[in-house]
């Protein structure tokens, strides 16, 4: 088997068999140029990421992303094609009841801080509650401490018997409560 050994950026040699062992030993003794000593990048790139979020031992959210980039120094990250299921009130996902059905959030792109628990979603955001309500908005802002999702770029909400639109919204993940503000338009029943 041929194995290339790089001595410097200008010289490559190929060795076979016993000569490979001698070449490896010799190359280990060669001084490394100062530029060849690499510092680890502060950026970590992950593909097909799965996430489990716990609070006090309770599973409160699960999710996945197609691709994620995380900067270890700043604590900032970005992810593409993100899907999360959030259980309300920090309760375990299997505790039953209407609120315990949780909320699903999908977004094309999410940028935020792991340490700050603040994130901004863009490229279209879809929210689905456990009882079948669905909301769509171009962008949304997540505040982890208050477990809220807010948006100021308009929202359309569909439920079993209604369609609502509004310029802004606040979604409280703890009880799946959605507040629409700024002039709400409602269509109910068969008029939808």
Higher local confidence (pLDDT), 26 or 65: 65
Q: Among 63-72, 97-106, 107-116, 135-144, which is the least confidently predicted range?
A: 97-106
pLDDT tier, 106 (very low <50, low <70, confident <90, very high otherwise)? very high
Residues 18 and 97 in one domain: no
Distance CA 82, CA 63 (A): 7
Residues 116 and 73 in one domain: yes
Distance CA 192, CA 180 (A): 19
Q: What confidence tens digit (pLDDT) does each residue in 50-62 have? A: 988 887 888 888 9
Phi/psi for 63 (5° steps) reads -165, 175
Return the percent helix, strand and coil in the chain, to nearest 5: 10, 55, 35
Distance CA 68, CA 92 (A): 26
For the question of whether the overall pTM of this predicted structure is more than 0.85, the answer is no
Query: For the chain, how many structural domains are there in total?
Result: 2
The domain containing residue 19 runs over which residues? 3-36
Q: What is the CATH number of the domain that holds 105?
A: 2.60.450.10
């Amino acid at each position: 088997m041929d194995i290339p050994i790089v001595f410097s950026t200008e010289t490559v040699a190929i060795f076979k068999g016993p000569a490979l062992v001698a070449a490896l030993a010799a190359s280990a003794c060669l001084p490394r140029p100062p530029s060849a000593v690499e510092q680890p990048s502060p950026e970590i790139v992950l593909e097909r990421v799965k996430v489990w979020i716990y609070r006090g031992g309770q599973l409160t959210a699960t999710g996945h992303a197609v691709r994620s980039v995380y900067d270890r120094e700043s604590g900032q990250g970005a992810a593409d094609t993100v899907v999360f299921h959030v259980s309300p009130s920090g309760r375990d996902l299997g505790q039953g009841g209407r609120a315990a059905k949780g909320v699903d959030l999908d977004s094309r792109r999410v940028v935020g801080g792991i340490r700050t628990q603040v994130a901004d979603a863009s490229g279209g955001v879809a929210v689905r509650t456990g009882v079948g309500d669905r909301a769509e908005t171009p962008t949304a802002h997540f505040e982890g401490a208050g477990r809220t999702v807010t948006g100021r770029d308009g929202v359309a909400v569909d439920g079993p018997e209604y369609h609502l639109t509004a310029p802004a919204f606040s979604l409280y993940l703890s009880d799946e409560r959605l507040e629409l503000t700024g002039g709400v338009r409602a269509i109910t029943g068969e008029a939808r």
